[in-house]
Structure 1
Amino acid sequence: MKKVQIYTDGACSGNPGKGGYGIILVHNEHRKELSGGYRLTTNNRMEMMAAIIGLEALKMPCDVTLYTDSRYLVDAITKGWAKKWQGNGWKRNKKETAKNPDLWQKLLDLCEEHEVEFVWVKGHAGHPENEQCDRLAVTAAQQSELAIDEVYEEY
């Protein structure tokens, strides 16, 4: 399996508000940057979307180290929360519904396709790729033509 590093970040102007994601994919000497934005979304959705789009960009199953400054994302995967919510019909407990089940499902499916290790990095702490992903995400959220996060807007 190819070893790939994926760096991700999400940003939101207001929460909810205009949002964006930034991604850097690295394999050996190859590097690719991706970004996009939505007119109304949340920061957590953008953090998740960055991971999803980064993994979807891979053309074959890969051994991935995914770096993110989102504790929500890292903890939900590494501590098994997302799988538990999935097994409970997207319920966090008997009363509370899990947020973002559409994105959690996509992410869990992609984690079956690839070998993914999620690594937390402190945001805004000088990590070069995290800082660049943040710039990509913020710039994407500021575009005039933003996509519609249809699932979020249906809530």
Structure 2
Amino acid sequence: MSGERITVATDGSCLGNPGPGGWAWACPDGRCDSGSVADTTNNLMELRAVYEALRAHDPRVPLLIQADSMYVINAFTQWLPNWVANGWRTAAKKPVKNRQCLELIAAELETRDVEWEHVKGHAGHPLNEKVDSLARHAATQVSGRNSSEAKGHRP
């Protein structure tokens, strides 16, 4: 690993849950991206934001991922090892939801130095407010389209 740790805020939004959804990530230096899916869930959009953020950054550069989703943070800091050991079953012996997305992110995390930070949503945190707005905008944009996916802001 090399370089200074980069902060990346992530967020997902869903209009209806399930319904039209959006995801977004942003860095303090202004780099950001967002996109949307016509029919999805909030948790899938929260996960998609993390996946897209990881894929957008060099794996050799350490990241600090800020999220307002405890589901996302707990999935990768607490629950993942038990899910894998239990054949992707929860403590209640039910199949883990969103397994495919979780596995994609877990594979990305294997070769990276990532720290996680929970930030309170809708509390004035500048980067969280930015990704919330981008994700909500992406979800709103796709809600009126028939396409299954649309790309959002990419400065």
Percent identity of paired positions between Structure 1 and Structure 2: 37
Equivalence for 1:11: 13
Equivalence for 1:153: none
**TM-score by structure 2 length?**
0.86
**TM-score by structure 1 length?**
0.86
Equivalent pairs counted in the alignment come to 144
Give me the whole-angstrom Cα distance separating, in 2, the residues matched to 1:125 and 1:41: 25
- The reply on whether 1:45 has 2:44 as its aligned counterpart is yes
Contact 1:8 1:130 in 2 (8 A): yes
RMSD: 1.6
- Kindly provide the amino acid, as one letter, of the partner of residue 9 in structure 2: Y
Give me the whole-angstrom Cα distance separating, in 1, the residues matched to 2:52 and 2:64: 14
Deviation of the 1:31 alpha carbon: 3.0
Give me the whole-angstrom Cα distance separating, in 2, the residues matched to 1:137 and 1:36: 7
Q: Secondary structure at the match of 1:7?
A: strand
Give me the whole-angstrom Cα distance separating, in 1, the residues matched to 2:81 and 2:52: 20
Equivalence for 1:60: 59
Q: 1:132 to 1:94 in 2, by over 3 A?
A: closer
Give me the whole-angstrom Cα distance separating, in 1, the residues matched to 2:119 and 2:53: 17
Deviation of the 1:94 alpha carbon: 6.1
Q: Secondary structure at the match of 2:43?
A: helix
Deviation of the 1:11 alpha carbon: 0.3
Equivalence for 1:147: 149
Equivalence for 1:22: 24
Aligned residue among 98, 107, 113 for 1:115? 113
Structure 1: runs of 5+ lacking an equivalent: 149-155
Give me the whole-angstrom Cα distance separating, in 1, the residues matched to 2:59 and 2:83: 28
Aligned ranges for residues 69-88 of structure 1 at < 5 Å? 69-79=68-78, 81-88=79-86
Q: 1:124 to 1:94 in 2, by over 3 A?
A: closer
Equivalence for 1:105: 103
- Kindly provide the amino acid, as one letter, of the partner of residue 27 in structure 2: L
Give me the whole-angstrom Cα distance separating, in 2, the residues matched to 1:19 and 1:83: 28
